[in-house]
């Protein structure tokens, strides 16, 4: 375990090509849906990281045969045709939001008693809205400690169907979780979405993955969705695109150093909303070049922007790093929900920018960053992979940036620092 990582500044600009590992969001959805499917599915291009490992381990504990070949980036899933084999299981999800939310809904389709829990931070991350929605469908489910957070106990008896309402004001993952399991119910399930929905593009990922396995939904009204009983069909070879949130760090590296970075395996048609981070960089002055199977960001003089990042909030920290090298302030707005992630990300960004001597203004749901002289510093990462990966970018330009607890990137990108060094031509 490394205690710290000293970022090596680059001389000049970064020119290079990289293919980030597979998408976390797609890998974890494909695992859930393949587990529910009839027949054996092969997933290729999968992400191998803590968030996908806890998902795989949990599916195995539920009696679903999942075989992972990390070398080949493939996973074989023997689907259970909507019938979870195990009637009791205790699942440990570390701090993987997608895993605990999706698996809570999956357990509701089983017959038996399941407990889902995670690390200390996971016990502070809300899941109550999902619990409420499942209860309305007749599921016996509770937050064990009455905190609205894990641990969660689910007594499953299959889903019979019916109507439910769900709030999306804290996380879109609750609705994604419900959508994926709803097709297994005996009767249709109608879901009313209450109030505003955060992180909307992730719902399109959910629907896209479901569609790959042959399941569709009816959007009766914009906020009333119905899912009829349907069977997921195995996918013989489902290829998962690279992670667009991970790609944001490399696009940002081009922007910050005035270089050119090509990310392979992604284009504007990617399923992941975070691909639109390139539009933010474009608004700041970068040039974007696209091909059928790659995107290149060319760094140019940067200007600060005012941007609503509700849809792509996993890239808010990336933008915070880029903002330091722009002319004029940058405001990142409408991201109050990122206070419920791996850490309170708005406070974490503010603390660490201040540590480098940067002036910031933080509100309940936004942060404004005023570029200024950047001091060397050891950056605290709060067990948040995105703090580590984003703030490392600052060190490409500023000497003396040290990242504390760099191994926290295992959550979604275990080889991040090695890949960054390779891209920068720094590997030994």
Ligand X SMILES: C=C(OP(=O)(O)O)C(=O)O
As annotated, the active-site residues are 314
Give the DSSP per-residue string, 96-113: -HHHHHHHHHHHHTSEEE
Selected range binding ligand X among 10-18, 90-98, 108-116, 418-426, rule: CB under 6 A:
90-98
Contact 21, 243 (CB under 8 A): yes
Contact 139, 159 (CB under 8 A): yes
409 binds, among ligand X, ligand S3P, none (CB under 5 to 8 A by kind): none
Total of chain residues touching ligand X, rule CB under 6 A: 9
Please name the residues in contact with 53: beta carbons below 8 A apart, sequence gap of 6 or more: none
49 binds, among ligand X, ligand S3P, none (CB under 5 to 8 A by kind): none
Q: Where are the alpha helices (DSSP H) in 160-271?
A: 173-182, 201-212, 244-257
**341 annotated among ligand-binding-site residues:** yes
Instruction: Return the number of the residue (335 or 360) whose C-beta is nearest ligand X.
Output: 335
Q: Does 272 bind ligand X (CB under 6 A)?
A: no
Peptide bond into 221 cis (omega under 30): no
Contact 47, 414 (CB under 8 A): no
**234 annotated among ligand-binding-site residues:** no
Q: Does 172 bind ligand S3P (CB under 6 A)?
A: yes
- The DSSP bridge partners found for residue 77 are 41, 66
202 binds, among ligand S3P, ligand X, none (CB under 5 to 8 A by kind): ligand S3P
Give dist(CA 238, CA 293) in Å, integer: 17
Give the DSSP per-residue string, 225-242: EEE----PBP-S-EEPPB
Binding track, positions 193-222, relative to ligand S3P; x by CB under 6 A: -----xx--x--------------------
Residue numbers 93-132 binding ligand X by CB under 6 A: 95-98
Q: Smallest gap, in angstroms, from Cβ of residue 199 to ligand S3P?
A: 3
Q: Does 95 bind ligand S3P (CB under 6 A)?
A: no
**196 annotated among ligand-binding-site residues:** no
96 binds, among ligand X, ligand S3P, none (CB under 5 to 8 A by kind): ligand X
Distance of CA 162 to the CA centre of its chain: 30
Instruction: Return the number of the residue (234 or 386) whose C-beta is nearest ligand X.
Output: 386
Give dist(CA 165, CA 89) in Å, integer: 28
**366 annotated among ligand-binding-site residues:** no
Beta strands in 242-379 (DSSP E): 260-264, 287-291, 294-298, 306-308, 330-333, 359-362, 367-370, 377-379
Residue numbers 364-423 binding ligand X by CB under 6 A: 386, 412
Binding-site residues for 3-phosphoshikimate, in ranges, read 24-25, 29, 171-173, 199, 314, 341
Residues in contact with ligand X by CB under 6 A are 95-98, 314, 341-342, 386, 412
Residues in contact with ligand S3P by CB under 6 A are 25, 97-98, 171-173, 176, 198-199, 202, 314, 337
């Amino acid at each position: 375990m490394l205690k710290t990582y000293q970022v090596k500044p680059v001389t000049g600009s970064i020119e290079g090509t990289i293919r980030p590992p597979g998408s976390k969001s797609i890998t974890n959805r494909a695992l859930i849906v393949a587990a529910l499917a009839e027949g054996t599915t092969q997933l290729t291009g999968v992400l191998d990281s803590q968030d996908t490992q806890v998902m795989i381990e949990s599916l195995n504990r539920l009696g679903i045969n999942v075989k992972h070949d990390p070398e080949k980036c493939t996973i074989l899933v023997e689907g259970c045709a909507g019938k979870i084999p195990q009637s009791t299981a205790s699942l440990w999800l570390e701090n993987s939001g997608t895993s605990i939310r999706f698996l809570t809904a999956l357990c509701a389709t089983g017959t038996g008693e399941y407990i889902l829990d995670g690390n200390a931070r996971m016990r502070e991350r809300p899941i109550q809205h999902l619990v409420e929605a499942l209860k309305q469908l007749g599921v016996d489910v509770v937050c064990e400690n009455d905190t609205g957070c894990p641990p969660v106990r689910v007594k499953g008896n299959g889903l019979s169907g019916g109507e439910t309402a769900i709030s999306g004001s804290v996380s879109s993952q609750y609705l994604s979780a419900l959508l994926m399991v709803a097709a297994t119910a005996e009767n249709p399930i109608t879901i009313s979405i209450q109030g505003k929905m955060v992180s909307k593009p992730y719902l399109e990922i959910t629907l896209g993955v479901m569609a790959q396995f042959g399941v569709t939904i009816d959007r009766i009204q914009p906020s009333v969705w119905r899912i009829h009983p349907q069977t997921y069909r195995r996918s013989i070879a489902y290829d998962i695109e690279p992670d667009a949130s991970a790609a944001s760090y490399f696009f940002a590296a081009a922007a910050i150093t005035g270089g050119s970075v090509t990310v392979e395996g992604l284009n504007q048609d990617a399923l992941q909303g975070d691909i639109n981070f390139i539009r933010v960089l474009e608004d700041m002055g970068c040039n974007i070049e696209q091909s059928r199977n790659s995107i290149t960001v060319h760094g140019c003089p940067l200007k600060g922007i005012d941007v609503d990042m509700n849809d792509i909030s996993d890239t808010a920290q990336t933008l915070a790093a880029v903002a330091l090298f722009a002319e004029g302030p940058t405001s990142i707005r409408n991201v109050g929900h990122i206070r419920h992630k791996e850490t309170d990300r708005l406070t974490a960004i503010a603390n660490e920018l201040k540590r480098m001597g940067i002036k910031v203004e933080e509100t309940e749901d936004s942060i404004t960053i005023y570029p200024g002289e950047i001091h060397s510093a050891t950056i605290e990462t709060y067990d948040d992979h995105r703090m580590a990966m984003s703030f490392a970018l600052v060190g490409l330009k500023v000497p003396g940036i040290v990242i504390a607890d760099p191994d926290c990137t295992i959550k979604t990108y275990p080889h991040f620092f090695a890949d960054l060094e390779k891209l920068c031509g720094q590997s030994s």
